[in-house]
Amino acid sequence: MESVKEENESVRVRSDRGSGRAVVAVIDSSQYVELAQHLTERLSHRARAILIECHGVSDDNWPALSRTLEATLEILKVRQASFVGFGDGATIVQNIALAHPRLVRSLVFVDSTLRPHPTWWQRCVDAIEHRLPFGLPLRLGSKGFNVRSYAHRLRCPVLVVGTVRAHAFIKAELDSLGVLTPTAWRVQLTSSSPKDESAELCELVMTFQGTPAKCPQKNRPEVA
């Protein structure tokens, strides 16, 4: 197991088990750790399940974390994978998918927002911009990552998943992500305990892996 460190930002491989088609789960160091651990443990019986932890995803460090994750995947000899991004960890997955689409077979976003750790001011600006045809100049020069402007470029199958712990803002962000992404399905988990959640999510991920990598943008089938 190897870790790569760059520009004082860190990405750590927490586990790499199983064999076959790779599924890479990416978490922020403070979110969804238990759920992701249960998920990758279950997935390791049916695929190569890799759990990667990024440390403190923010508007300042997401470019460095993305580069470090790319280097880590090269060390692990991952040429293509299905990615599961949890919470703010999904920001890094979104950036990888936009920068290296051939690396990504499918995407699963769990309780993902359109930007990492959005502040109250950022939420207000996003809400205002969403209602205007050409946006506002308030965001010009911002170095922060916001997938709203790029989601239409995600052409692989995308599963947008909400958990029971997601509050109203995250649910609204998930709904927006589902609408903005041409090939997205929106699913809501119903289980409350991490083990039950992981079992439900595992079945979704494994079923979703059977979706053709080049799926149509319209007339999409429903995901149970």
* pLDDT at residue 191 greater than cutoff 60: yes
Residue 31 near residue 87, CB atoms below 8 Å: yes
pTM: 0.82
* pLDDT at residue 149 greater than cutoff 80: no
- The rounded distance, in Å, linking the Cα atoms of 181 and 68 is 26
Q: Is residue 213 part of a domain?
A: no
Q: Is residue 199 part of a domain?
A: yes
Domain boundaries, position 155: 4-208
* pLDDT at residue 19 greater than cutoff 60: yes
Residue 9 has what pLDDT? 47
Q: How confident is the model at residue 113 (pLDDT cuts 50, 70, 90)?
A: confident
Instruction: List Cα–Cα distances, 220 to 158, 189, 195, 215, in angstroms.
Output: 11, 20, 30, 8
Q: Is residue 194 part of a domain?
A: yes
* pLDDT at residue 137 greater than cutoff 60: no
Domain of residue 162, CATH code: 3.40.50.1820
Q: Is residue 217 part of a domain?
A: no
Q: Is residue 177 part of a domain?
A: yes
- The rounded distance, in Å, linking the Cα atoms of 179 and 183 is 9
Structure confidence by residue, pLDDT tens digits, 69-108: 999 999 999 999 999 999 989 989 998 999 999 999 999 9
Residue 125 has what pLDDT? 58
Q: How confident is the model at residue 155 (pLDDT cuts 50, 70, 90)?
A: confident
Query: Which is higher by pLDDT, 108 or 113?
Result: 108
Q: How confident is the model at residue 194 (pLDDT cuts 50, 70, 90)?
A: confident
What is the per-residue DSSP string for the chain? Answer: ---EEETTEEEEEEEEE--SSEEEEEEETTSSHHHHHHHHHHHTTTSEEEEEEESS--TTTHHHHHHHHHHHHHHTT-SSEEEEEETTHHHHHHHHHHH-GGGEEEEEEES--SSSS--HHHHHHHHHHHTSSS--GGGTT-----GGGTGGG--S-EEEEE-TT--HHHHHHHHHHHHHSTTEEEEE----SHHHHHHHHHHHHHHHTTS-SS--SSSPPPP-
Query: Which is higher by pLDDT, 155 or 48?
Result: 48
Residue 29 has what pLDDT? 76
Q: Is residue 223 part of a domain?
A: no
Residue 47 has what pLDDT? 94
Residue 204 backbone zone (phi > 0: left; psi -120 to 50: alpha; other: beta)? alpha
Q: Is residue 218 part of a domain?
A: no
Residue 154 has what pLDDT? 87
State the Rg of the chain over Cα.
17
What is the total count of domains within the chain?
1
On the 0-12 / 13-18 / 19+ scale of CB atoms within 10 A, 21 is middle
Q: Is residue 221 part of a domain?
A: no
- The rounded distance, in Å, linking the Cα atoms of 16 and 49 is 6
